[in-house]
A and B are shown apart, each in its own frame.
Chain A
């Protein structure tokens, strides 16, 4: 057992909020007031009422699909049996409301035994933030299939959605969700994955734009040997609230999870929240888990909350650990670069790119790499002259 596990065990009993009762009934979920554990970081006032009773209407986003050859993408009715196959049961009011309000679902299916070249991209273009939209998507990688699916969200919109991910036995699926919203967008997304025996899921969340972006990603395992890699990259600007809540539920033995989220924050009242929950159930012997969240605060006035939480019900595990950090530029790194003639702002740019580079490489979707690097660059350009170091805090 690693030291981290020892430490987590010694923390004693944490009050568990990791496995709440879910319900499809909207009224079973009270309207959040802000003090609830799962809502305490979220600025409810800025949610345009979607956590309460604001009506949903169709057409909040225009959807464009670029399906890779061999992948089927279709729209099914809301009562189609495919909904719910990931095991998703809403555990909060927004998810339950989105479930009830959805008039259909987009189903992406990768057939058994097929390896798909290139990414399937589903682009959601927001058409305005006056009315809210509810969405539902189900991504199914059938047995031994291999594919990459990219969801892109852009423009102005208020959206609540449920995204289900089913990775059948032996399949290998990458799902990337890119939130490149306009400044006024509100997006609350519940993404739930069920990972089959010996299957791999790489789930990537990238958030740049939007007023409030909150993503809840949860994963459970349908059999032993499954693996989940959850990667996240975010850049919070002035006034932006970007929240990621992750929950990996190790429900089967010999499963793996690796969670790495990295974010940079800049500008007055830029706020990032990361909650990383991992539950290792009694039956989940021999599992391995690691979760990490790093925040780089680039300017004054920005802040981050980072809460890793490991709950362990069996000691029979391979390894478990977590790391969480909120820091500013490292003076030694900047000095080293500057002492080679690199100007301060350039040195800072290098360090930020370096901070994200490993992660961008791990995403492993070539179509995205360049775009992500240039978006990081564009974000940096906004504040490059006011970036702070530890020194002038």
Chain B
């Protein structure tokens, strides 16, 4: 069970001309078992929201709160947030040369559960997760994300989601750079995850096409650093038909 509560969150980044405010007061509650989609135009601050929740050092929280079941997330270090149940699938997964996927996953799983995974089932679990994402077993021996294609990186993120099994998944543009087959594979992975008990998903996307495969409970339109409108799945349909214009013109 977990409820993620974001209240009046304001965030800025350091730029050459001083701090620049990007999130201008975001309020959003995601209950256990819910899937929320955040949709917004380029540069509206979607990744900033995801990274801020996950604790990336680049972003400065200037106001507001983020709590997970009442615990102050903003007080936690990055790894503590992961241990509290948060998982961020990144828009641009990072390459870590010389660190094998197998070693990375094992180290992460050990850190999250506090004990080394049982050898007997572990290899099977990892291979199974890779296989579901159509990544062949040799990926385990490769360096983390190094030389992976854009689509392979995204599928690797979802394989991690499967193996690390967090309570709460933040998926930042998991659909970008995927062809239609890969999009289906990734969506299946996310739906499998959602089918587990009490899992929450925040699906950040620019396009509506992934929503054909993943049905959100709530849709939020994100414009210029805040939520411009919230609604049900029909809001996504409106965006599909008429784009962001109604919202962006209102924001100016």
Contact = CB atoms under 8 A, between A and B. Distances in A.
Interface of A: 331-333, 335-344, 346-347, 350-351, 353-358, 391
Contacts of A341: 79, 82-83, 108, 111-112, 164
Interface string B68-87: 00000000011101110001
Interface of B: 54-58, 77-79, 81-83, 87-88, 90, 93-99, 103-104, 107-108, 111-112, 143-144, 160, 164
A333 B111 contact: no
B57 A391 contact: yes
Given A337-B104, A342-B79, A351-B99, A332 B112 contact: no
Contacts of B96: 333, 336-337, 350-351, 354
Given A336-B90, A341-B111, A391-B57, A353 B98 contact: yes
B97 A332 contact: no
Nearest to A390: B57
Contact of B107 (A331, A350, A356): A350
B104 A350 contact: yes
Given A346-B107, A391-B57, A340 B97 contact: no
Contact of A355 (B78, B95, B97): B97
A391 B144 CA distance: 23
Contacts of A339: 54-55, 78-79, 81-82, 87-88, 90
B153 to A, nearest CB: 11
Contacts of A343: 77, 79, 111
A346 B96 CA distance: 14
Nearest to A356: B98
A292 B108 CA distance: 32
Say whether chain A's binding surface is mostly helix, strand, loop, or mixed.
helix
Contacts of B87: 339-340
B4 to A, nearest CB: 15
Contacts of B93: 336
A342 B108 contact: yes
B107 A353 contact: no
CB-based closest 5 A-B pairs? A354-B98, A357-B98, A341-B82, A338-B78, A340-B108
A123 B249 CA distance: 76
A342 B107 contact: yes
29 contacts: A333-B96, A335-B54, A335-B55, A336-B90, A336-B93, A336-B94, A337-B96, A337-B104, A337-B108, A338-B79, A338-B82, A339-B81, A340-B108, A340-B112, A340-B164, A341-B83, A341-B108, A341-B164, A342-B79, A342-B108, A344-B77, A346-B107, A350-B107, A351-B96, A351-B99, A353-B98, A354-B96, A355-B97, A356-B98
Contacts of B103: 350
B107 A344 contact: no
Contacts of B79: 338-344, 347
A365 B67 CA distance: 52
Nearest to B164: A340
Contacts of A347: 79
B22 to A, nearest CB: 17
A333 B95 CA distance: 7
Contacts of A358: 97-98
Nearest to B56: A335
Contact of B160 (A335, A340, A357, A391): A340
Nearest to B163: A340
